[in-house]
Structure 1
Amino acid sequence: MSHAYSSERARALILFLSLVALLAAAALVALSLGRYGLTIPEILRFLASRANLAAPDPARDDLFGNIIVEIRLPRILAAGLIGAALSVAGAAYQSAFRNPLASPGLLGALGGASFGAALALMLGLSWVTLQGFAFAGGVGAVALGVVIANLFGEASAITLILGGMISGAFFTAALSILKYAADPYDQLPAIVYWLMGSLAGISLDQILWTAPFMLAGMAGLALLGRPLDALAMGEDEARGLGVPVAALRYGAIALATFISALSVSLSGMIGWIGLFAPHFARLLVGPGNARLLPASALVGAIFLIGADTLARSVARAEIPIGIITELLGIPAFILVLRRARRGWM
């Protein structure tokens, strides 16, 4: 028994180290690709010179600094952070609701964030204010869904989902009204482009400001891993083990909504990743949330870095990243259906 447990831990460690190595490789490849191509050795030499581990090259360091540090690195960091956050949020929703099709948009967060961003664009507000409106809209939509679910007594998982669907439908309708009323030559194109998602406008300062909050939210969900495992066995079983079901579910919802809303406020709408990445991670490490949540973060980061690299490399004009993730999400949804036939968790 001890030998089997040690082998399982060793296998999990190898998988995590492999995912970390794959993430580093994806980041290096993403740094090398673009309109001005760079080789991996050139990037490594530049990074070594910045870390005072190699002699600088004055003839090229300024150019490389502009391409790597000012343009590509913020996008890669943002893609990794947002991909990890949306994936962890999706895994937490799936565990909290015992639903393999749960995702960050389940309780209306995406619809509310879209409405908030569209309202900011209609009012001609700054980019920073737009992010605040999107975040507030996402959190407000989930809060409305929770209130609706509790209108007729203590909410269950089903009533929370239904409340989220009602809230999401309300904010989607409100967004349609804004699009109908928007200036078709100025405001409407900006709203449509934001809804398709993009990492082009993200700066390093924005990442440094939001990263601590998003990492703290993901860490909080990771700490809830074992209680979420108990909840996955059923509410009665979880209560029998002393787990406060309602507090746990609301805590997981709050943290998952928080990091999802922050992600959407930075990048716009990026779909599918919160559904696809947790299922792929579950294939690798199993259903235990103590392993699943960190693995989902790594898979999501790798996936979104790859998608953003495709978005800015496959055509002369950049393709909105939401389109790429939706196209790649189609085979992921087929995978979900295949697992659903065999059972889940």
Structure 2
Amino acid sequence: MSRNLSGPRSPPLVIAVLAAILLILSVGSLGVGRYDIAFARVVQILLCAVFPPDVPVTPTEANVVFTVRLPRILLALLSGAGLALSGATLQGVFRNPLVGPQVMGVSSGAAFGGTLAILLSFSRAGLLASSFAFGLSALVLVYGLNGIVARRNILALVLAGVVVSGFFGALVSLLQYLADAEDKLPAMVFWLLGSLSTANWEKLSLVAGPVVIGGILLLGLRWRINLLSIGDEDARALGVRVEPLRWLILILVSAVVAAQVAVSGIVGWVGLIVPHMARMLVGSDHRVMMPTSLIIGALYLLVIDDLARTATGTEIPLGILTALIGTPVFVLVLWQTQRGNRGV
């Protein structure tokens, strides 16, 4: 089956429009919350050091924008962009539109590593390292199981991901059972639900390095991911060292996902459904699809987080909202894929 690597619309125009929308919504989100601030006033607050406004910025306004909301907005942008980029990368590497960080077991493995770190009272850096180690381990297990059973079988790959996710999910449950019900257990449960409510500049600095560096490297490899997406044999014929490249990509994806999980818990389905949105806009060429996925992912999680903190009096965990939206979309994608396979 041939792949169409050309997009239905002008990719530069689509990316420019999405970037403009992302910028506007990001600034607007700084004014959304229990202490509402008008859009124009938010702009004045952000630029007050360069262009002092006629009405001086109050300490309350500065604290709300710069201390409370700005790190949270930036964390939502980085997390959404990293998850979407990771999902687009995995789908290209495994030539399977039904995989993502959660389906492939990366999120579950990283969640176990983070839960173990909470149980053992690790530092933030230790939590990140533990999440990365077990996230990568989960991905290696899925890759190994698929190679043993049926390497070129899409269904076997998805089933391997389900098996590994179930295994690490059971380990997480075991750690919760062993945890102190007064101290460790509530922290584990709240963390696993996924939330940005505890965002601060320290957590942002923790996640920024792996996501930014890993994201830049993945974007730099996107033309090689194009070659992997057409098949290993064809990629080797074009001079690509397939196995080292694939392992490098898997390590980078694990680092990005582990960093997100370490600071905000499991936020599922973003890496699965956002790449499909990007393909609808710009086609399947990873050179433009991956940057588009990155922007849409940041935009998607930003909107979800705004909804989570404003829809009700108490904040709704991100993981709940993304699952409620992502689950039916995944079913739709699965149905369309099976229909396409019957038509081949």
The answer as to 2:78 corresponding to 1:78 is no
Q: Is the 8 A contact 2:113 2:132 kept in 1?
A: yes
| Deviation per residue, 1:16-71 (Å, 9 max, x gap) | 11000110122122111100111101111111213x1234644x331111000100
Q: Is the 8 A contact 1:111 1:168 kept in 2?
A: yes
Give the % identical residues: 36
- The 1:253/1:127 distance shift into structure 2, 3 A limit, reads closer
Residue equivalent to 2:93 = 96
RMSD of the TM alignment (CA)? 2.7
Matched residue SS, 2:316: coil
- The 1:121/1:302 distance shift into structure 2, 3 A limit, reads same
Bigger shift: residues 131-140 or 68-77: 131-140
CA distance in 2, matches of 1:294, 1:235: 24
Residue equivalent to 1:184 = 181
Larger RCO, structures 1/2 (Cα 8 Å, 6+ apart): 2
> Post-superposition shift, 1:143?
4.1
- The 1:119/1:213 distance shift into structure 2, 3 A limit, reads closer
Aligned residue identity for 2:21? L
The answer as to 2:58 corresponding to 1:53 is no
Residue equivalent to 1:298 = 295
Aligned residue identity for 1:54? P
Residue equivalent to 2:120 = 123
Aligned residue identity for 1:220? L
Which of 320, 323, 329 aligns to 2:320? It is: 323
Structure 2 residue runs of 5 or longer lacking an equivalent are 1-5
Report the TM-score, using the length of structure 1 for normalisation.
0.87
CA distance in 2, matches of 1:67, 1:168: 39
Residue equivalent to 2:59 = 62
Q: Is the 8 A contact 1:91 1:274 kept in 2?
A: yes
CA distance in 2, matches of 1:328, 1:225: 28
- The 1:134/1:56 distance shift into structure 2, 3 A limit, reads farther
Residue equivalent to 2:170 = 173
Residue equivalent to 2:10 = 11
- The 1:330/1:142 distance shift into structure 2, 3 A limit, reads closer
Structure 1 residue runs of 5 or longer lacking an equivalent are 1-6
> Post-superposition shift, 1:9?
11
Q: Is the 8 A contact 2:104 2:158 kept in 1?
A: yes
Matched residue SS, 1:306: helix
The answer as to 2:273 corresponding to 1:282 is no
Q: Is the 8 A contact 2:109 2:136 kept in 1?
A: yes
Which of 139, 143, 146 aligns to 1:142? It is: 139
Residue equivalent to 2:217 = 220
Q: Is the 8 A contact 2:7 2:284 kept in 1?
A: no
